[in-house]
């Protein structure tokens, strides 16, 4: 009966296109006691092994390969595990809400003319959306690995925040004057015109 071993391994990952990234994790197997002349390690991965272990909810195992190499007198055997991230969680929880918030904020802020009496209402829409974005940024900060490379999803969220910030600046700087209120004479004239039209 074969013996089952459980192995934990740390892998260097690249998050440039997170959450649409693929990773390759190496699991080395070697003997520290005997050299390559005494012990030769080999292995084969069957198709059933990949089908039985498809991954967890976040990762999908796409392939498992083997590699033989060595240094000095030691012989090392590697299992190369190829992983693909399942991005559904990040799309539905972070990317899609960011897009909807940005779209609805821009529509709400520029749906009507930017007159000064409505300036505060329009500005509150943008600021409220930015506060909501900070919640999504906090979720993103806890989800992604802390590396020197800023991931694609982080750039997307920052761009959405930048669009709303630019819209708030436009609302403040390029406000139109309030529509001129009609004088009493003009209001009486309009009233007389309406009365004449109704009599006809």
Opening angle at CA 148, ends 145 and 150, nearest 5: 70
pLDDT tens for the chain, 200 residues: list them: 677 777 777 888 888 898 899 999 988 888 777 776 777 777 777 666 555 555 667 888 888 888 887 776 778 888 888 899 999 989 998 999 999 999 999 999 888 887 777 888 888 999 999 898 888 888 888 877 777 788 899 899 999 999 999 999 998 888 777 656 555 666 677 777 777 767 65
Per-residue pLDDT at 54: 59
Cα–Cα distances in Å, from 126 out to 123, 167, 185? 5, 7, 40
Per-residue pLDDT at 186: 62
Helix, strand or coil for residue 189? helix
Per-residue pLDDT at 15: 85
Phi first, then psi, for residue 195 (nearest 5°) are -65, -40
Domains, the chain? 22-85 (no CATH), 88-184 (1.20.58.390)
Per-residue pLDDT at 142: 84
Does the predicted model carry a pTM greater than 0.85? no
Per-residue pLDDT at 92: 92
């Amino acid at each position: 009966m074969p013996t089952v071993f459980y192995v934990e391994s740390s892998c260097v990952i690249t998050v440039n296109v997170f959450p649409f990234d693929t990773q390759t994790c190496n699991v080395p197997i070697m003997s520290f006691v005997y050299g390559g002349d005494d012990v030769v390690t080999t292995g084969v991965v069957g198709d059933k092994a990949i089908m039985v272990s498809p991954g967890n909810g976040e990762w999908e195992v796409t392939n498992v390969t083997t590699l033989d190499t060595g240094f000095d007198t030691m012989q090392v055997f590697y299992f190369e595990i190829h992983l693909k991230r399942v991005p559904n969680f990040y799309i539905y929880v972070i990317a899609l809400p960011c897009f909807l918030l940005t779209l609805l904020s821009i529509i709400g802020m520029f749906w009507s003319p930017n007159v000064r009496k409505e300036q505060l209402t329009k500005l509150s829409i943008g600021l409220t959306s930015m506060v909501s974005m900070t919640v999504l940024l906090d979720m993103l900060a806890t989800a992604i690995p802390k590396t020197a490379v800023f991931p694609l999803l982080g750039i997307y969220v920052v761009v959405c925040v930048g669009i709303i910030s630019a819209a708030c600046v436009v609302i403040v700087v390029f406000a139109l004057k309030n529509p001129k209120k009609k004088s009493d004479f003009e209001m009486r004239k309009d009233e007389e015109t309406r009365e004449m039209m109704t009599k006809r």
